[in-house]
Structure 1
Amino acid sequence: MKNIISILLFMTGLSLSAQVGINTNSPKAKLDVNGDVNLRNKVVVLNVTDNSLSQGNNDQLLVSQGEGYPPIWKSLRIPEYEPNKFYLIFNNSFSDRTGVKFSDSEQSTISGRNLAFSKGASITSLPGFKKITGLTQDLSIFSDNSKTYFQFETVVQANLPSNGTTDISIDYACGIFVDDKLVNLRQRNLKASSASSTFITHNQIGVISNLSKGDHKVSVACSRLGSYRTASNVVLAIGTYAADNINSFITQSSLKVDVYEIPQVFNSITN
């Protein structure tokens, strides 16, 4: 009976007082407990949608919704990883409508391309390359065992004249860089055709294994390598347009990045 009366008095005091402190003389909430709390039975939360009391489910956490809102139960979803298997850890895609343009005077001065275009080459050693600004993005690697896939797509156009032969053309190259180091490169040739202002779709897929753990920056840069029988006013446009028979929506660039890793810290799988 004494215990019942004590509990009733405590609850009465709690309802009448704005703030009650246990082991503290300056409570900062309606009930402020300064010390350990041992719950031997259950915790229930008011469900404001139907005014019911919810005990939550197994493995759920009590999560705050911010000041003025009651907490709610939420499931913590941590993926379970099996050892020695790759999992998709990062996946994102980016786009850019600005692109890059090259006049006939902005042609690359690279000589010995077979030596210059090698894995790990610094972008500073490749004169004439311009970055497509909107495709420069950050990514993070968390494991020593990873594979990072890149898929780059854009449209390349030049204001070439209509020509029935293919002896008027421009060589160009686009590279994918990680931390300004070349990891993938494609060279192509844009040829004049029977229609003026020829344009083509450029697709490029690359992969790099075992980037170092930590933060990295991926970027895409392109260059005008060589021109054959072109006039001085011919502009090469990559990810943008050189003539108004197409527009920036058609020529926009995109980059997709997927990172697969073998997690080094994982939860064991149970049946």
Structure 2
Amino acid sequence: MSSNSRLELGQFLRDRRNRLRPFDVGLPSFGRRRTPGLRREEVAQLAGVGVTWYTWLEQGRDINASAQVLNAVATALHLDSSEHRHLLTLAGVDARVVVPECEDVNEYHLTVMQKMLPYPCAIQNGRYDLLAWNRVYRFLIGDVEEHADGQPHNCLSMIFNDPAWKTAYGERYQEVCHSMVARFRANMASHLDEADWIDLVNQLKADSAYFTEVWEAQQVQRSTSYAKIFNSPRVGALRLQFTTLWLDQQRDTRLMTVTPLDELSANRLAKLDAMVDSEPAVSRRNVSPAA
């Protein structure tokens, strides 16, 4: 960490500390305060670090600061995700490794997915967890809301464990599996020590011998736009283009738009939307569906 970075880091920490009051963090307030914010010893207490170490960090001294300790400081100071990443960047830590993935799905995202109808649209993270989806995406193959095998609404779990997905892809099933796992492995390179990623791999290995075989091939592939051809149980064969629009590329959260490659597929998507139009237009994980 350069001297300029250390000074900027110290100034940033002081500013965020001065913005908080004891009641903001559940601490009692005793005595008169010379400054409006928290005391350094209070931040150190909340973060579980030594007062001297935290003081030196604010003073811009040349000390070691691990990602784990910086995360604790970020939590103590109630930093939002952008501030958290900024703290880690100033400290010379790769924010992609330690900042949790964005799980937020806001009303603007839901509006975009609704406006995409009758075309499928969903929000995924780097683990292939579905965070939100519109109703045509939901019913493209089965019903994504029925899947909760330890990994709620996870596309890898679906394709390796749901026979309907294997049937839908037909002779291209193995190719699709290899491609998805290769992209997943590339995404995981920045999350190798994170429990959510490790648990997902272990669960998939336990559930599917074929996943284990594909995983051990050590293939990697970056996320790009791609075409898929498969048979929908409800409307028949579909030729679709999948396009990734990043919501937060640093944390692998993306909007997945799906558009037809021919008129027949477009008509069949419209037919599918009409078949399920009594369902909510968009839904999101762990949140009540939005009509």
Which has a greater percent of helix?
2
TM-score range, shorter chain: under 0.3
TM-score, structure 2 as length reference: 0.25
Q: Which has the higher contact order (CA 8 A, sep 6+)?
A: 1
TM-score, structure 1 as length reference: 0.26
Instruction: Please identify the structure whose Cα radius of gyration is greater.
Output: 1
Which has a greater percent of strand?
1
